[in-house]
Amino acid sequence: MKSVLSFLLVAVAFCAMASSVGSAGILQATGPWEMEQASNPGVWMPAKVPGTVLATLVENGIVPEPYQGLNNKYDLRLIPDLRENREFYTVTYRTKVAFPKEWDGRKIFIRPEGINYRSEIRLNGHTAGVTAGMSSG
């Protein structure tokens, strides 16, 4: 009985410690997010993260839904081809993140989860990291 009680106390203490570390040490950038195209600077549109550039363009009425009718047919040019208009698909995402006061003076690690394909991560105007290739944490 004594060993079972000791195990339960240790298990409860461990769970309490694990939950406080997780809640105090991780801050998720949940949005709202905006996206700007390099081909249309200064114009920010609502974006979903996680999401894709194409999905954001469809949701904001920039391009038609590619999977309806002939919208994706190359000859119609309703959706620009990457080979012909790279700037159309070069975008910037942004959101605001408020860091807890108790984090002042701490090192902060940014862990992107699923960037495809290339990115430059900036924080307050300074480059914080660069990725190339599929990035997942």
Lowest-confidence segment of 12-21, 40-49, 64-73, 96-105 by average pLDDT: 12-21
Taking the C-alpha atoms of residue 70 and residue 76, their distance in angstroms, rounded to an integer, is: 8
Taking the model in full, what pTM does it have?
Answer: 0.73
- To 10 degrees, the CA torsion angle through 133, 116, 109, 130? 50
Of residues 23 and 31, which shows the higher confidence score?
31
Q: Could you tell me the residue range of the domain that residue 68 belongs to?
A: 27-96
Domain identity same for 37 and 51? yes
Q: Is residue 9 part of a domain?
A: no
Number of Cβ within 10 Å of residue 88's Cβ equals: 19
- The gap between the terminal CA atoms of the chain, to the nearest Å, is 44
Please write the tens of the pLDDT for every residue from 69-83. Answer: 999 898 888 999 888
Q: Is residue 16 part of a domain?
A: no
What tokens appear for 50 in the block?
């996680």
